[in-house]
Structure 1
Amino acid sequence: MNNNKIYTLAIESSCDDTSAAVLLNDKVLSNVVAGQPIHEQYGGVVPELASRAHQQNIVPVVDVALKKAGITKEQLNCIAFTQGPGLMGSLLVGGSFAKSMSMALEIPLIAINHMKAHILAHFIDEEGYDKPEFPFLALTISGGHTQIVQVNSFFDMKIIGETTDDAVGEAFDKSAKILGLPYPGGPLIDKYANEGNPKAFPFTKPKVDGLNFSFSGLKTQILYFVQKQVKENPNFIEENRNDICASIQHTIINILMDKLTKAVEETGINRIAIGGGVSANSGIRKTLKEAENKYGWKTHIPKFEYTTDNAAMIGIVGYYNYLEQNFSEANVVSKARIEF
């Protein structure tokens, strides 16, 4: 076995994106993502439709990933796939494909925790990208998760704060829905917020113990506020859209930054890395960059393509597991919820 050149095929199918990537060691040769526009008309991901679309997409996506990487399947050293967390039907499609292919090629299979992959995406070898040094704090923010994780090494991570109810991505999307914006609404709130006044409508921040988060109260507060204003002025949303979005985004960012600042104080670690779909938000990126000057933090913000669900981040974790010979049995089970 040539340990200098390790080719990893990675498969990610936790939600509504079918993705395959090929890595040579820690470098991405291809990272192909097929979206599922069918969910837009339903205002959210429909699990049954998602798993069907994965079944249609997986073979062509893997085929394109191998072709773009310029290698044959016989050159692969291992196959990494998302074990969980995610939608069960979607996970089963990726997991079954990965197992079948690893058995056919007689190469190791590596099951990956999707949330750990969001964190370790920072270790993909990208020209000019400064990888974080251990230990660091990871803020993972997505549609399903909001966590602060203390990362001591590739295989030693500990959640020190998480949401007690809704995730930050859900807070963005549900707020967008209240404003009549189409799904997915988070990016649209970000877009309108750039044109608005963040102090126009003050929302109160929830009081939550320790480093944990809560977003359900904020969502309810936004709903009641908008309903009340629309009752008085039916054109309220149209006339104030930018300011409402800016105020919502400002409040959410403040909640995240308050906890992150507290985490830095408690741990003494001032290296911060963000990951997950919501880390594509321009307001969060800007605020974190400002924190470098304001607090003396060192912040790590990944490329956009590595923030949303993608197979390259699965591949980098697969690579480090391969080096440690951490392989999975063929009977490894996909899990909608998974222990960190």
Structure 2
Amino acid sequence: AGRRRVLETGVALRAVAIVLIAGSHIPLFLVQGGAHILLGVAGYNFARFHLTAAARPERVRRLGRSMAYIAVPSVVWISGAVLFADGYDPENILLLNSVIGTHEGRQEWHYWFVESLLYILVLLAAVLAVPALDRAERRFPFGFPLALTALALVTRYNLPGFDLRAPHLTAVVVFWLFALGWAAARAGTAGRRLLLTAVVLATVPGLFPEGDGQALRTAVAMTGLTLLIWVRNLPSLGPLNRVAGLLAHSSLYIYLTHFQVYPLLKEHSPLLALIASLAVGVAYATVVTQLTRRLPVLLRRRGRTAPAPGGQSRESGESEGSGQPRPLGPGTGTGRPEASAP
């Protein structure tokens, strides 16, 4: 028997959610709500890994690099989907479907999560670049995201009356989930956690359109967010930790790739379609990870050998690090950069 260990709740939620997302899209089963849990996890990890004691410019710089680690692999893969698959538009490549897309087909919305996450991060980078707001966040680490959550409820219920084709898939509506996850990471007392739990129970119902399976979708989202608020670690085993860590690390890449993988196999075997979707996503994650590890090294080597003014080669025994950002998602113990995505 394996030794008993613990698994971070955020890692467990990411791993389970990406399996639920892919499996429900096939569909091998229909248990939706995972992507909205992941928005809460993204906010939680944003607070843990980006809101450090570093100076304001460094915080913003690291956040910018993390956004690039999400955007670049997404644009590369989606470009291939637009070129070689039906149902996508150039707006998908630009990650602007929710803003300027024609909204004529379901496939256009496949990458709503990536768009929403990036829009939210761009907004927060702008917010934290303001010295007064940066100071306010440091002084009120729980009150600041709680205030953002309250403010975000204005668009959660679309009080301005925006023309939204799919509100539950739109950044201005789902931003409150990210802010809620951020507040959960700062909720150090039972009273604060009870307050956030009340917010979850009051605001998640009604988010999803009416239809079959939507009550379960609401229950899944509320359960995941409540776990995130109250439970820091779950009992686990070593092998389970390794599988969960791999899926959590690869969650963005599984999300990106599975839309093109499962249609090839779902008629033959829905289970095989799910396994293949996970495997291709893990493979894409491996490729991206290797490239992001090697690129800073190659750039540093090129910098050392580049001719300096006067014709001398520059040699330096020091570097500023790999240039990789702190992960938006909890680490898996491998040292690999992670994107906070499903």
TM category (shorter chain) comes to under 0.3
- Larger relative contact order (Cα-Cα within 8 Å, sequence gap ≥ 6): 2
TM-score by length of 2: 0.26
TM-score by length of 1: 0.26
- Where is the strand percentage greater, Structure 1 or Structure 2? 1
